[in-house]
Amino acid sequence: MEDQDIMREQAQILIDRAYRHQQQGELGDAIALYRRSLAVYPTAEAHTYLGWAYSYMDRYDEAIAECEKAITLDPTFGNPYNDIGAYLLAQGRPEEAVPWLERATAAPRYDTPQFAYLNLGRTYEALGQPYRALACYDRAQAIAPLYLPAQWAKGLLLGRLN
């Protein structure tokens, strides 16, 4: 095994540990481990997940900066595009969120594009475009029929439209 492969494997172990801490609400430990992972072997995933940890602390500007670093490392990875859109939406900047979320839906390497469609739907709702939002929720459900957040968002929006 080459040194680079070993470093990548070590970095992934640190990411996995960081993620477990993050899921337990131990954000300081998670952030430290994501940073250690990046020091060992920088990956788009570690930058994205570090940004996600920052977002839990409402540190959206830092979260966006980490996602931008992730995109620089791997522009095909969909998660950071979605996350930037979600952070902009959380900051009350839905117009700015749209292009990021659209890029997420088109990203070649994205296992959960239904998340981006849900966020795009929420963004269109914030922009007063309910029918575009419904189309996004429908697309999320077409990708993942059991994705409950899209079903709930669609149901709530339809209730408001009636």
Domains of the chain from N-terminus onward = 1-111 (1.25.40.10), 113-162 (no CATH)
For residues 124 and 157, give the distance between their C-alpha atoms in angstroms, rounded to a whole number.
11
Indicate the SS3 state at residue 8.
Answer: helix
pLDDT mean by block of 10 residues, the chain; 162 residues: 90 96 96 98 97 97 98 98 98 98 97 97 98 98 97 97 88
Nearest to 51 by CA among 14, 93, 18: 18
**pLDDT at site 162:** 82
CA–CA distances in Å: residue 65 to residues 60, 82, 88, 144 = 8, 13, 12, 29
**pLDDT at site 1:** 67
pTM: 0.94
